[in-house]
A and B are shown apart, each in its own frame.
Chain A
Amino acid sequence: MSQCIKIIHYKAGNIASVTHALSRLGVQAGLATSPDHLKGTDKLIFPGVGHAKPAMEVLRQTGMNEAIRNYRNPVLGICLGMQLMAEASEEGPMEGLGIFPGSIKRFSDEVKVPHMGWNSLHELSSPLFKGVNEGSHVYFVHSYYLPVSQFAVASCEYATRFTASIAKDNFFGVQFHPEKSGTTGALILKNFLAL
């Protein structure tokens, strides 16, 4: 049975990479720019790069903020997408969607910012990571992070231990870029599609 997968398109996502990654898995994803585009969809992917505040503005203007919050099928937030699903962010500062508890913080200047490159995943505990080994490397590019909480399903370390992945109800988030993380990333996306 083929699923209807849509990628939330709100000017802050690098949608080409996500579209290509899904296409390599045999899935042709559509784009969703307004709440009515979510009708009849089975899953959503919520990507994002760039600055949190203007991204959140676009979501508010289009009503997508409420639409995402009220969505009942699986949602996967990637990078900024995941961060916008938290309560708030130091970037801006601004209020987020409040789906995940906790507030986004900036990495301290003790380390180079952005955290850019391949880092390892630990404390894996979600069907998203079925078949993924502890210590597997995935690609990160971010200057802000979500501290670990009870909802973290993977952690990573860069000056501090932070949330590499989070899950609550039907909402999932990954701080890294599965669409750019080689075979490991492809497996994680495949696991999301299989939820």
Chain B
Amino acid sequence: MNRDNNHTPLKRCSMLTKRIIPCLDIKHGRTVKGVSFTSLQDAGDPVELAARYSENGADELTLLDITATLEGRSTFLKVVEEVAAAVSIPFTVGGGISTERQVELLLSRGADKVSVNTAAIIDPSLIDRLASAFGNQCIVVAIDARFTGSKWEVMSHAGTKGTGKIAIQWAKEVYHRGAGEILLTSFTADGSRQGFSLDITKDVSCSVNIPVIASGGAGKPGHFLDVFTKGQADAALAAGIFHYGVVSIARVKAYLAKNGISVR
């Protein structure tokens, strides 16, 4: 396939670079999923891992709290504080956020943005309230979507429950309610390493006027090129391939730059 001259023209030409965002899943204050940075003293330490990704060219980080307990939450706050002190790039935190108070705590500990998911599905007005209290630039709405064979359905509760909502309609709604960014995860592609779900990414990206981060399915540098050109994503998030060292952020960026994508 000749990719050199057949890029879908980028809808909006600017010097703004495409962002590559590694995601760290954090449970009880430790990163989960294997990590293959052999030079790390403690691969489970989110602070050390965040600092390493920051040095290696990550444009932002996402920290996802996958603990459900209250003790887990306070441990997570401490991680957020330590990452904020150590790392000089922006980071988003998510996982179980449902109240203004939680957002206030996370932002005051140094998080730049928060992402909400299930709580916003249960009570969409949460998005309006958070956007008006903290500014829409720091409110990310995470949308987990699955292709049912006929439509892209929004999933809640970490992808375990179908909601009946159509992804594109939910994306438009969260945009109108004041979300500053959408993190779109394809549960159909997630973990497959067969590439991002390009069609739904493009549909969402073209129907809202806020940045869209594509997530799920990254397996090689070409997948990132595809999601930025055909998928029209503004940023791409990946976990496994970076953690396991399948490919480095530097290699992804070098490949993108070679193919005409503006990266940092």
Contact = CB atoms under 8 A, between A and B. Distances in A.
The B contact surface, by secondary structure, is loop
B135 A16 contact: no
B243 to A, nearest CB: 21
Contacts of A117: 16-19, 59, 211, 234-235
A21 B17 contact: no
Contacts of A115: 16
B14 A111 contact: yes
A109 B88 CA distance: 30
B110 interface: yes
A157 interface: yes
Given A141-B137, A179-B88, A181-B88, A116 B211 contact: yes
Contact of B16 (A49, A142, A158): A158
A17 B112 contact: yes
Contacts of A143: 136-137
B181 interface: yes
Contact of A14 (B18, B107, B210, B235): B107
Interface residues of A, number: 39
Nearest to B263: A118
Nearest to B19: A117
Given A114-B137, A180-B89, A16 B108 contact: yes
A186 B15 CA distance: 22
Given A112-B210, A180-B89, A119 B16 contact: yes
A156 B54 CA distance: 23
A43 to B, nearest CB: 20
A172 interface: no
A92 interface: no
A177 to B, nearest CB: 8
Interface size class on chain B is 20 to 34
A182 B54 contact: yes
Given A17-B110, A157-B14, A118 B19 contact: yes
Contacts of A24: 85, 88
Interface in A143-195: 143, 156-159, 177, 179-183, 185-186
Contacts of B37: none
B90 interface: yes
B84 A113 contact: no
B177 interface: no
B194 to A, nearest CB: 27
Nearest to A136: B264
A137 B264 contact: yes
Nearest to A15: B108
B110 A16 contact: yes
A149 B137 CA distance: 26
A23 interface: yes
Contacts of B234: 112, 116-117
Contact of B15 (A50, A119, A139): A119
Given A24-B88, A109-B209, A139-B89, A114 B180 contact: yes
Interface string A124-146: 00000000000001010111000
B90 A180 contact: yes
Contacts of B12: 110-112, 159
A28 interface: no
Max count, chain B CB within 10 A of own CB: residue among A118, A139, A156: A118
Given A117-B16, A118-B264, A180-B112, 20 more contacts: A16-B107, A16-B109, A16-B110, A20-B110, A24-B85, A50-B135, A50-B137, A113-B209, A113-B210, A116-B234, A117-B234, A118-B17, A141-B90, A141-B137, A159-B14, A180-B89, A180-B90, A182-B54, A182-B89, A183-B88
The 5 closest A-B pairs by CB, nearest first: A50-B135, A16-B110, A137-B264, A118-B264, A141-B137
Interface of B: 12, 14-19, 54, 59, 84-85, 88-90, 107-110, 112, 134-138, 180-181, 209-211, 234-235, 264
Interface of A: 14, 16-17, 20-21, 23-24, 49-51, 109-120, 137, 139, 141-143, 156-159, 177, 179-183, 185-186
9 contacts: A50-B135, A116-B234, A141-B137, A156-B15, A158-B14, A179-B88, A181-B89, A182-B89, A183-B88
